[in-house]
A and B are shown apart, each in its own frame.
Chain A
Amino acid sequence: MKNFEFSRATSLSDASLRTQEAGVLLMAGGTSLVDLAKCGVTEPDMVVDITRLGGLDQIEVSERGATLGALSRMAAVADHAGIKAEFPAIAQSLSLAASQQLRNMATIAGNLMQRTRCAYFRDPGAFPACNKRQPGSGCSALGGVTRNHAVLGTSRECIASYPGDLAVALLAFDATIETTDRRIPIGEFFLEPGETPHLETLLRPGEIITAIVVPASAAAHRSTYLKVRDRQSYEFAAASAAVGLQLEDDGRTIRDLRVALGGVATVPWRASRVEQALIGQVLDEGTVRQASLLAVEGAVAHGDNHYKIDLVPRVVTRAILTLGGLA
């Protein structure tokens, strides 16, 4: 880790102004930033701590939806009664993430901005080649240990998966990310690697997330976050699904369905094809199982991660059937 200066922002605009400079990075809970600095991936000259800025950690839930201040701690959102009631998938995505100590420390904006767990990305000393760290240097993961790499949204330049859980739940329920400059629909916020894997989000230098707004919906109200992994706790997802379901008054026809995937794609991944295939259909196991296969349409395996292609439809199926009371 390279030594860096630590400073505290006096206001949002102060933070914004200062982080426009190269080498100056925003810091919230620091759980991801300091980790990456220790790995030698992020080498700031200065960090600007925004956690003392007031008013950015409010959690509000109304009939219209939820507004989550960017600095809300993961644990606070996970335990919030209104979020648990109206957006169970969001609460669960957080309570199943990281560890209690990290959740107490980490903010939700920091959570969205966390970077891939690709072991090659995180180990510059051993593996200099990484297009995400060093555009044009190559990809060390190709031909290496790829058990946790993405099968969806990959490119020849990068196959790193997006590891976070919260963004997956937010994507399913069409959240909007509010920044110091604008509002960005979450579906546009994350960038697939393509030929520029070093560009990960739409955020511009100095642009700061201030809040996350999630509209209320019947599907969000009846939702779940299913996270599958080898270790019961404290592990990133091998595959996860945030699913919301709304049935017609007949109690069996699907009116609305939201499906987003985690741990298997380069960005939080919306499985729109599954949603389209099932909306209007009668909820039954065979139909759901069949439609869930569409979640991995176009998926490409790279060695060790081929199991994800089998796993994803099963996760999606289970989540939908659970919500529908069929599993």
Chain B
Amino acid sequence: MTLIEPRKHGDASDGSLGSRLSRLDGRRKITGSATYALEQPVENLVHAVLVQSTIASGRVVSVDKAAAEALPGVLMVLTPDKVFNMMVASDWFGNRVENVPYLPLPAEVNYYGQAVAAVIAETFEQARDAARLVKVHYEETPAVTVIDQGGSGTVTAPMTVEWGDAQAAFDTADITIEAEYRTPREYHVPIEPHGLIASWQDDQLTIWEPSQWTHGMARTYAEWFEIPFENVRIISPFIGGGFGSKGGAYFYGAVAALAARELARPVKLAVTRSQGFTAYGGRASTRQTLKLGASADGVLQAVIHRGANETSTYADFHEGTGAATPIMYAVNNFSSQQGLIKVNTVTPGALRAPGKNPSAYGIECAIDELSYAVGIDPLEIRLRNYADHDYQSGKPWSTRKLREALLAGAERFGWSNRSAAPRSMRDGRTLIGWGIGCGTFPNLTNSSDAMIRILSDGSVEVESAGIDMGQGTYTIVAQTAADALGVSVDRVDVKLGDSVSAGAPVAGGSMLAGSITGAVHKAAQAAREELIGLALNAPNSPFSTSGANTLVIENGRIKTSREDSPSMSIGELMAMLGREKLEVKRDTLPEGTTREEQQKAFTHMSKVRGPTAGEFSIHSWGAHFIEVRVDEDFGTVRVSRIVSAFDCGRLYNPKLAESQLRGGIIMGIGQALLEEGLVDARNGRVVNNNLGDYLVPTNADVPPIEILSVGEPDFEASVLGGKGVGEVGIVGVAPAIANAVFHATGKRVRDLPITLEKLI
């Protein structure tokens, strides 16, 4: 068992990378000097407020806006009947239907709370008041408002995964279990709500908007308005949480930019907390049935999985409930299908560990159910069915230290002291239960570009369009550059979140850290080489007589490797050369990539390499050991202890990685016990669309969480050996809690969240 602590791994880790440096942006955030998008001081600003539909399905027949327009300060009311010259943008993968006009406020109403108009006024209050006076007339059509009304759905054939003969193996298995698991709609509720300020200067568009992907969003705005990519600038230095919800530009961004262009004034549009439940999609509600067949001693013979998720009536979003199922265990007969059920909702979106999360909930509960059916320990059944390679792709794992995670976690947690029978551990009227849940997330890779700038005083600037939404990019980028250059971290200033900077992929799918550090490392190494070359060859070089043909840079000083070497600081070298700055830009794209292809790599997902793109199958892994205390009379569940062990490869900064994993685990507690979008089936309204009623964990709900790291550098996964950290933390938490609740109470709750009425 290895506790996360400063460790040295691999070649670049002999300095700051790998150390527990605190977040470099932390102080600014805590003291309030970090400026978020909507706080930008922009002159001459006007305000937009959205008007939302009050029906779930139908069309806008007419909009009566006279009363709104008559209010003082009102500048414009945008309605569906006003068509502007905008074009539909390409999707994430770069597919674009040409010449289709884009209507950010369509007349077709597909869900309750869809924006059908927007009011722009001099002040926010004027816009808000006027928005209330906009009268929308609808023609209503029947709606399907909740997944249960939507029938069995349609199977998405390409998502089907089959090998062996699952049905036959299931039919002849000694022991079988079959169960249905359900998850409700869940929401990101980042503490910084969405919104933007849009401003035009001629045909240049500047957008201050929280963004997980400045390049992708800039591309979308450029396509909407048919202007060159270079004409759009997305500025997003600080983000108050995204969890997947800030990866794209949404209709309201188009509304604000459109209004700004029409009025020739900057427009601010704030999406309110309650609008945030329909302005973009949360996690789709899902259901899945799992049938497991095993031999009498608990060796899996068959896994049959049938899952479905809700999507909207106008677009398909797959929350792949079979995403983790095929890779968790060794099994020779497997079948999985995923369907879609159309519901009148905003199209669901990616929320922390999309697919893997509900998928792990299903398989990890099912394997637990099987362990009881067979009569062996939940830890033992996982070890007995350990997958020594990826059964789905047939490829070897690059690294899979899930066994180590299970053993280390069990040891630390004291799993061997568990008494096997449900309801056998108690403290007065409190039932105690222990559960395990494993998690995984695929290693997605993409290229990055990075700019290193050595300034005249020897300090270093690193620039990237990549972003930091709290996950620690600023810090690990500084650590990477400092190490590769041979300077201390405090000499490095990192500038992120500006689409005019060197390109980077989305901060999503846990792919940014591995990608951006690769490019920064490469650029910084090149900058070091250049500095060394300049130092050797400068006219008055102190090294010209030393006979050295290379130099080292340590702690900002350039010297030979000899003890008695002369030395000079980088700043002194710059002064000697009379240089203001030295810029080095490097990307990790394949040699010879064209400009156009490069642009695609950063603005689309089409260049993302999946976990099995190469010879290996590459994933992050985790195992959660969770104790719950359930009040026998009240059914209230409190999580009292968590030990989670992960294999995320090399950790660039264990403190920040630990903190990300912990954040995911806390979100998992919410998912298991509290979070649920409650929809009024009569009209499709999410009735708990606020933070008073949509419950997320408070500090009091979070027990001590111990994080163990069992990973080793995986150079198949990334340049510097790390695998993804951001998403895997949440995966497996909900099943671990559900399994612990079963162990405590003997009740199997198969629909999340596990609220008290399900246990009394």
**Chain A interface residues (CB < 8 Å from chain B):** 1-3, 40, 117, 119-120, 123, 125-127, 143-145, 147, 228-235, 238, 307, 310-311, 314-315, 317-318, 327
**B758: min CB distance to chain A, Å:** 9
A233: contacting residue among B685, B688, B700, CB under 8 A: B700
Find the B residue at minimum CB distance from A144: B680
Interface status of B547 (Cβ within 8 A of chain A)? no
Is B636 a contact partner of A230 (Cβ separation < 8 A)? yes
**A38: min CB distance to chain B, Å:** 9
Find the residue from B129, B679, B685 having the highest chain A CB count within 10 A.
Answer: B685
B695: contacting residue among A126, A228, A235, A314, CB under 8 A: A235
Given the contacts A3-B129, A311-B760, A228 and B634 also touching, CB distance less than 8 Å = yes
Interface status of B240 (Cβ within 8 A of chain A)? no
A230 to B696, CA, bound (A): 11
Interface status of B697 (Cβ within 8 A of chain A)? yes
Total A-B pairs, Cβ < 8 A: 82
Given the contacts A231-B695, A234-B698, A126 and B674 also touching, CB distance less than 8 Å = no
Is B638 a contact partner of A119 (Cβ separation < 8 A)? no
Interface status of B693 (Cβ within 8 A of chain A)? yes
Is A230 a contact partner of B755 (Cβ separation < 8 A)? yes
Given the complex, which residues of B lie within 8 Å of A310, measured CB to CB?
A: 760
A292 to B634, CA, bound (A): 14
Within 8 A of A (CB), among B699-733: 699-701
Given the contacts A231-B695, A232-B701, A317-B633, A120 and B687 also touching, CB distance less than 8 Å = yes
Is A314 a contact partner of B760 (Cβ separation < 8 A)? yes
- For the A-B complex with A231-B697, A311-B757 known, give 14 more contacts whose Cβ atoms are closer than 8 Å: A120-B687, A125-B54, A125-B132, A145-B678, A145-B688, A228-B636, A231-B698, A233-B698, A310-B760, A311-B634, A311-B635, A314-B634, A314-B760, A318-B634
Is A230 a contact partner of B760 (Cβ separation < 8 A)? no
Given the contacts A119-B688, A125-B54, A317-B633, A231 and B678 also touching, CB distance less than 8 Å = no
Is A230 a contact partner of B674 (Cβ separation < 8 A)? yes
A/B interface sample: 9 pairs, CB < 8 A: A1-B128, A123-B685, A145-B679, A145-B687, A228-B634, A231-B698, A231-B700, A232-B700, A314-B760
Within 8 A of A (CB), among B369-384: none
Given the contacts A233-B698, A327-B429, A119 and B129 also touching, CB distance less than 8 Å = no
A175 to B687, CA, bound (A): 35
A1 to B127, CA, bound (A): 11
A232 to B634, CA, bound (A): 13
Find the A residue at minimum CB distance from B691: A234
Given the complex, which residues of A lie within 8 Å of B756, measured CB to CB?
A: 228-230, 238, 307, 311
Given the complex, which residues of B lie within 8 Å of A147, measured CB to CB?
A: 678, 757
Is B695 a contact partner of A307 (Cβ separation < 8 A)? no
Given the complex, which residues of B lie within 8 Å of A228, measured CB to CB?
A: 631, 634, 636, 756
Given the complex, which residues of A lie within 8 Å of B428, measured CB to CB?
A: 327
Interface status of B673 (Cβ within 8 A of chain A)? yes
A231 to B755, CA, bound (A): 9
A233 to B636, CA, bound (A): 12
Given the complex, which residues of B lie within 8 Å of A230, measured CB to CB?
A: 636, 673-674, 695, 753, 755-756
Given the complex, which residues of B lie within 8 Å of A317, measured CB to CB?
A: 633
Given the complex, which residues of B lie within 8 Å of A232, measured CB to CB?
A: 638, 698, 700-701
A95 to B659, CA, bound (A): 30
A145 to B694, CA, bound (A): 13
B interface secondary structure, majority: loop
B760: contacting residue among A117, A144, A307, CB under 8 A: A307
Given the contacts A231-B701, A311-B756, A327-B428, A126 and B54 also touching, CB distance less than 8 Å = yes
Given the complex, which residues of B lie within 8 Å of A318, measured CB to CB?
A: 429, 633-634
Given the complex, which residues of B lie within 8 Å of A235, measured CB to CB?
A: 695
Find the B residue at minimum CB distance from A226: B634
Given the complex, which residues of A lie within 8 Å of B688, measured CB to CB?
A: 119, 145
Is A126 a contact partner of B700 (Cβ separation < 8 A)? no
Q: How many residues of B contact A (CB 8 A)?
A: 37
Given the complex, which residues of A lie within 8 Å of B636, measured CB to CB?
A: 228-230
A231 to B694, CA, bound (A): 11
Interface status of B683 (Cβ within 8 A of chain A)? yes
Is B129 a contact partner of A2 (Cβ separation < 8 A)? yes
B687: contacting residue among A2, A123, A125, A231, CB under 8 A: A123
Find the residue from B673, B692, B699 having the highest chain A CB count within 10 A.
Answer: B692
Q: Which 10 A-B pairs have the closest CB atoms?
A: A307-B757, A232-B700, A233-B700, A314-B633, A119-B687, A233-B698, A232-B701, A228-B634, A145-B678, A126-B685
Given the contacts A231-B674, A310-B760, A327-B428, A143 and B695 also touching, CB distance less than 8 Å = no
**A45: min CB distance to chain B, Å:** 14
**A143: min CB distance to chain B, Å:** 7
A28 to B753, CA, bound (A): 37
Is B683 a contact partner of A126 (Cβ separation < 8 A)? yes
Given the complex, which residues of A lie within 8 Å of B226, measured CB to CB?
A: none
Find the B residue at minimum CB distance from A125: B54
Within 8 A of A (CB), among B101-134: 112, 125, 128-129, 132
Interface status of B682 (Cβ within 8 A of chain A)? yes
**A53: min CB distance to chain B, Å:** 29
Find the B residue at minimum CB distance from A305: B757
Given the complex, which residues of B lie within 8 Å of A126, measured CB to CB?
A: 54, 112, 683, 685
B682: contacting residue among A40, A143, A314, A315, CB under 8 A: A143
A119 to B690, CA, bound (A): 10
Find the A residue at minimum CB distance from B684: A126
Find the A residue at minimum CB distance from B429: A327
Given the complex, which residues of B lie within 8 Å of A238, measured CB to CB?
A: 756
Given the complex, which residues of A lie within 8 Å of B678, measured CB to CB?
A: 145, 147
**A227: min CB distance to chain B, Å:** 10
A147 to B680, CA, bound (A): 12
A119 to B760, CA, bound (A): 25
**B240: min CB distance to chain A, Å:** 18
A119 to B694, CA, bound (A): 11
Find the residue from B132, B682, B697, B757 having the highest chain A CB count within 10 A.
Answer: B757
Find the B residue at minimum CB distance from A148: B693
Given the complex, which residues of B lie within 8 Å of A234, measured CB to CB?
A: 698, 700
Within 8 A of A (CB), among B630-667: 631, 633-636, 638
A145 to B686, CA, bound (A): 10
A310 to B633, CA, bound (A): 9
A233 to B697, CA, bound (A): 9
Given the complex, which residues of B lie within 8 Å of A117, measured CB to CB?
A: 692-693
Is B701 a contact partner of A233 (Cβ separation < 8 A)? yes
Given the complex, which residues of A lie within 8 Å of B633, measured CB to CB?
A: 314-315, 317-318
**B374: min CB distance to chain A, Å:** 33
Given the complex, which residues of B lie within 8 Å of A127, measured CB to CB?
A: 685
A232 to B674, CA, bound (A): 11
Find the A residue at minimum CB distance from B125: A3
Given the complex, which residues of A lie within 8 Å of B429, measured CB to CB?
A: 318, 327
Find the A residue at minimum CB distance from B759: A307
